[in-house]
Amino acid sequence: MRKSPFDHRTYRHITLANGLPVLVVEDAKSHRAAAAVAVRVGHFFDPPHREGLAHFVEHLLFLGTDTHPGDGEYQSFIQRAGGYHNAWTGTEHSSYFFDVQPNHFSEALWRFSRFFVCPLLQPESVDNERHAIEAEYRLKLQDDTRRLYQVHKAVVNPEHPFSKFSVGNLETLAGDPVELASEARALYERHYHAGNMTLVLYGPQSVAELSSWAHSYFSDIRRGDKVPAFWEGTRLYQNLPFQVSAKPLKDQRRLAINFPLPSVQSEYRQKPLTFISHLLGHEGEGSLLAYLKDKNWVEALSAGGGISGSGFREYTVQFLLTPLGEQHQVEIVEALFAMLTLIRTEGLEGWRFAERQRLAEQSFRLMEVTEPMDYCSHLAVNLLQYPPDDVLYGDFVMSDFNPERIRYWLDFLTPDNLRLGLVSPDVEGEAEAPWYHTPFFTRPISKEWLSRWHSPALLPQLHLPTPNLFLGDAPEPAPLKQVKQRPDKVRESPHLRLWHWQDPDFRLPKGHLYLAMESPHAMASPKHIALTRLWLDMVSESLTGELYDAELAGLSWQLYPQQAGITLQLGGILGRQHRLFSHITQRLLDQPPPEHTLDMCRKALIRQYHSLKQQKPVQQLLAELTRLLQPSHPGYARLAREMEQLSFEDLVNHQQQVTQSLFVEGLVHGSAPREEVTPWLEEVFVRASGQEPVRKVLSLYQRGPLQRTYAVEHPDSALLVFYQGRSASAREHVFFMLAQQVMSATYFDELRNKQQLGYMLGVSFFPMQRLPGLLFYVQSPVAGPVQLLDAIDDFISDFSLLLLGLSQSQWQATQSALLHQLYQPDATLADRSSRLWHAIGQGDLTFDWRQRLAETVKNFSKTEFIKMMMKRLRAKAADRLLLASVGQQHRNLEPLEEGQFICDVSQFKSQSRLYKSA
């Protein structure tokens, strides 16, 4: 089994006596243990009369087994073990996965394995669970991704299983509970057996011990043969070519060209479509995207995605259109075929394939360790798709340049073999897609358009990429100068501060740079905030094509606004970052904002701000929570209005003001020694002349209950209940962290499973700036804000009483689970860089905040916790902020009248006390 030379883990593939393929992964450095099972079953296998059944079975498996029959027992155990669990159902595969503290892994595996041996699948569980699926379905009724996906299903061949409704709802899962449970059992018996599944175990235990557990817990899964894909040979579309046009809820315009193909899975080692996408999706000078952007027809392009499965593949080229571009669809597609002609005639060269091959090998070689649970889930699906030796390498391998096979696949990308898909708010539909009611219509493509596409005009502006100058041999990690345990402050003045750490643990030839350039002018008013955001978007847009080769070669960059100014983030392979850094900072600080990008970026930002109104109610309320508590946040509607008025002269003046008053703080973290990096940072340090800003957040202390209700155009109602810490002390943080830890599983079980209030709900630890917070949230299709608040208040009240009966051992288990999270080491170099940068932003300049929290957890008694619960959360007059949205179907219910109303946001902010942190 081929693995990266930087991968320290040990892998072993075994097959159990029942035929179950198993991959065990020993990671001695891991503080988590995880497992995943992938099953070759998805909604493609749903009976025609019972759409959503595979998804329904996935839900039922969590509701008890013969050995552990308690409803919610598995979930409670995983939480007590400091873990997380989830599952998903796709087209042909389902995946189940969890992680826990390693000392609980064996017991967790025993419980988990019983899903696949003796699930209850009881008729008594049917009604609650189909209501849960109904809530999950309704949650996405106004989600454009789901709505447009259903249009896609509506226009394919109805004999192809892709046409099926995947989620299910009360209508498709209606009927007698005994009969439905029997149908669920039948699907389970047909598909859930060892010949149709894979298993991955991951932990710090040895491969021998992990293998032993696989044998002990999973060998009694039934034997069986792989269930064949009955649809192989069924055409995905009928009557090609044709056009489908659909109306979204958000203001978005997209054009997709879908080419149906046979399955390409057998050529995974050659990846011919990856090579085609490499040339077609290039974004540099001479590219298809650059040409279309210059015409102001297109804002973005992606090539190579699309649905796939047993016996079929769809190759999709998608354009994000401007309003002008929507009027030039025929020319855009003609340009696409002109580029495909160029690829056929000039692109099939060995050096081009070798360059893409090097990029893939580099990605594999320098791949960082990911979270164990995510890795397990990924590998379990890979084990269904690749031979065991390629489970790790199969996603990356590119061997055997074969121009004839690439031409074979290019021959499918023709005008006669396409579906043209337009998404536009201007579409007036003649039909509605089932289940999600998306307006759409279909049309034949005119002979005139097809004639142009068959013989596209050659465009002198198009040419294929030149050799990538950023691509070189990946260096080895720089030798360690001195082993240190945290960043050093290597430069400090009243105007700047620089931190550096040559990491002793992640010995990859990579590094990350964070550079904050802060100025009082950047966010001084709503207009200044709009100017900063537009300026950064214009600079980023102008750099995208120029730096595309750098991104291909393993470098990453991002410019983004933050509360006090601008942050530049760089990452990737060492030895190549200086050139990238200089190019970006010169464009940002020395050159006028690129005027040619003004109109496109302004419209894109305004469209983005307006589209927030189409988000789920809970997401809109979360945005409002941030707006209310950040003193300078004007809200996205105000930003959109300000954006409309900005001139290029405004931008030039703003850039000069900001760059003349910068306070600069940076972090360099990775394998590079200090002397290799700090010299080129001088390009920005010489500009530092400003003072360090003070960060602020509104305090809710001694304000009592506050409330604000919003009008959100959505059928569901939603409610947030937010409790804020009184200070930034470790004790305040730990109280809220323990509250989230001890309450979340019970809250989910009570409001979701028992009361059936909705699918989107939870309890979250929610800090803002340095103040901790606790957030209860729920979005409901069946209840208005008054009922939702009653449910949350009743839960808090009842839970406070339940705590009195909590044994000392149970309390210690809660503490242990939180301690395990705090002691959890960083999974990747990028994760550690992000955590260190966050610590700097929060004023943790000794980088020991997690240790201080851990000590506080150890000393936090159950008695102290209960007292704080009673005083801070259970009291009706507690300091808390209630944000509500009333669903369209709940407008006739009594309004929420709890606490002091926030009528005027500006007045509320001006009258509120500020909590300040450096």
Structure tokens at 464: 């294929």
14 pairs with which residues across the strands? 22
Structure tokens at 307: 């649905």
Non-local (6+) Cβ contacts of 838 within 8 A are none
The whole model's pTM is what? 0.90
Q: Are 723 and 631 in contact (CB under 8 A)?
A: no
Residues for the chain: how many in total? 918
Confidence band, pLDDT 50/70/90 cuts, at residue 675? confident
Q: What is the mean pLDDT of residues 184-188?
A: 98
Q: What is the pLDDT of residues 804-833, one digit of tens each?
A: 888 999 899 899 989 988 998 888 899 999
Q: Is the pLDDT of residue 86 over 60?
A: yes
Q: What is the pLDDT of residues 595-634, one digit of tens each?
A: 999 999 999 999 999 988 888 999 999 999 999 999 999 9
Answer whether 242-371+389-454 and 488-693 agree in fold.
yes
Angstrom distance (rounded) from CA 443 to CA 155:
11
Structure tokens at 326: 């929507």
Q: Is the pLDDT of residue 574 over 90?
A: no
Angstrom distance (rounded) from CA 699 to CA 903:
18
Confidence band, pLDDT 50/70/90 cuts, at residue 577? confident
User: What string of DSSP letters covers 661-692?
Assistant: SBEEEEEEEES--HHHHHHHHHHHHTTB-SPP
Report which residue type is found at 890: H
Q: What is the mean pLDDT of residues 7-23?
A: 97
Non-local (6+) Cβ contacts of 777 within 8 A are 618, 621, 622, 718, 719, 720, 721, 760, 761, 762, 764
Which numeric CATH code is attached to 488-693? 3.30.830.10
- pLDDT score for 629: 94
Structure tokens at 859: 């000393």
Pairing of strands 663-670, 496-502: parallel
- pLDDT score for 648: 96
Q: Is the pLDDT of residue 918 over 60?
A: no
**Dihedral of CA 600/604/610/614: which sign?**
positive
Q: Are 139 and 779 in contact (CB under 8 A)?
A: yes
Q: What is the mean pLDDT of residues 150-174?
A: 97
Q: Are 370 and 4 in contact (CB under 8 A)?
A: no
Pairing of strands 565-573, 555-562: antiparallel
CA neighbor of 467 nearest in space, from 293, 282, 276: 282
Q: Is the pLDDT of residue 905 over 60?
A: yes
| In the chain, % of residues over pLDDT 90 | 86
Burial class for 434, CB neighbours closer than 10 Å (0-12, 13-18, 19+): middle
Q: What is the pLDDT of residues 136-156, one digit of tens each?
A: 999 899 999 999 999 999 999
**Dihedral of CA 735/741/742/743: which sign?**
positive
Q: What is the pLDDT of residues 288-341, one digit of tens each?
A: 999 999 999 999 999 999 999 999 999 999 999 999 999 999 999 999 999 999
Angstrom distance (rounded) from CA 406 to CA 352:
13
Structure tokens at 709: 């209700």
3-state secondary structure of 427: coil
Q: Is the pLDDT of residue 475 over 80?
A: no
Report which residue type is found at 396: F
Non-local (6+) Cβ contacts of 148 within 8 A are 246, 248, 423, 438
Which superfamily does 242-371+389-454 belong to?
Metalloenzyme, LuxS/M16 peptidase-like (3.30.830.10)
User: What string of DSSP letters covers 129-174?
Assistant: HHHHHHHHHHHTTT-HHHHHHHHHHHHS-TTSGGGS-SS--TTTT-
Confidence band, pLDDT 50/70/90 cuts, at residue 72? confident
Q: What is the pLDDT of residues 343-369, one digit of tens each?
A: 999 999 999 999 999 999 999 998 888
- pLDDT score for 590: 93
Structure tokens at 203: 């932990």
Angstrom distance (rounded) from CA 575 to CA 475:
8
Q: What is the pLDDT of residues 203-218, one digit of tens each?
A: 999 999 999 999 999 9
Angstrom distance (rounded) from CA 610 to CA 259:
33
Q: Are 317 and 437 in contact (CB under 8 A)?
A: no
Q: What is the pLDDT of residues 486-501, one digit of tens each?
A: 999 999 999 999 999 9
Confidence band, pLDDT 50/70/90 cuts, at residue 680? confident
Q: What is the mean pLDDT of residues 39-58?
A: 98
518 pairs with which residues across the strands? 565, 663
Angstrom distance (rounded) from CA 86 to CA 217:
20
Structure tokens at 852: 């201080």
Non-local (6+) Cβ contacts of 81 within 8 A are 100, 101, 104, 107, 108, 817
Angstrom distance (rounded) from CA 134 to CA 782:
11
Preceding omega of 241 cis (within 30 degrees of 0): yes
Alpha-carbon 162 to chain mean position: 24
User: Chain-wide mean pLDDT for the chain?
Assistant: 94
Non-local (6+) Cβ contacts of 807 within 8 A are none
Which numeric CATH code is attached to 698-917? 3.30.830.10
- pLDDT score for 79: 87
322 DSSP 8-state letter = -
Q: What is the mean pLDDT of residues 846-873?
A: 95
| In the chain, % of residues over pLDDT 70 | 100
Q: What is the pLDDT of residues 22-35, one digit of tens each?
A: 999 999 999 999 99
Q: Are 72 and 749 in contact (CB under 8 A)?
A: yes
Question: Which CATH number applies to 10-218: 1.10.10.10, 3.30.590.10, 3.30.830.10, 3.30.70.260?
Answer: 3.30.830.10
Q: What is the mean pLDDT of residues 241-249?
A: 97
CA neighbor of 362 nearest in space, from 410, 397, 316: 397
> Beta-strand (E) ranges in 551-613?
555-562, 565-573
Non-local (6+) Cβ contacts of 731 within 8 A are 856, 860
Q: Are 413 and 241 in contact (CB under 8 A)?
A: no
Structure tokens at 807: 């044994």
Rg from Cα positions in the chain: 28
51 DSSP 8-state letter = T
Q: What is the mean pLDDT of residues 60-65?
A: 96
Angstrom distance (rounded) from CA 196 to CA 227:
7
Q: What residue segments make up the domains of the chain, in order of their start?
A: 10-218, 242-371+389-454, 488-693, 698-917
CA atoms within 13 A on the CB side of 525: 5
3-state secondary structure of 300: strand
Of 8-12, 422-426, 533-537, 700-704, which gets the smallest average pLDDT?
700-704
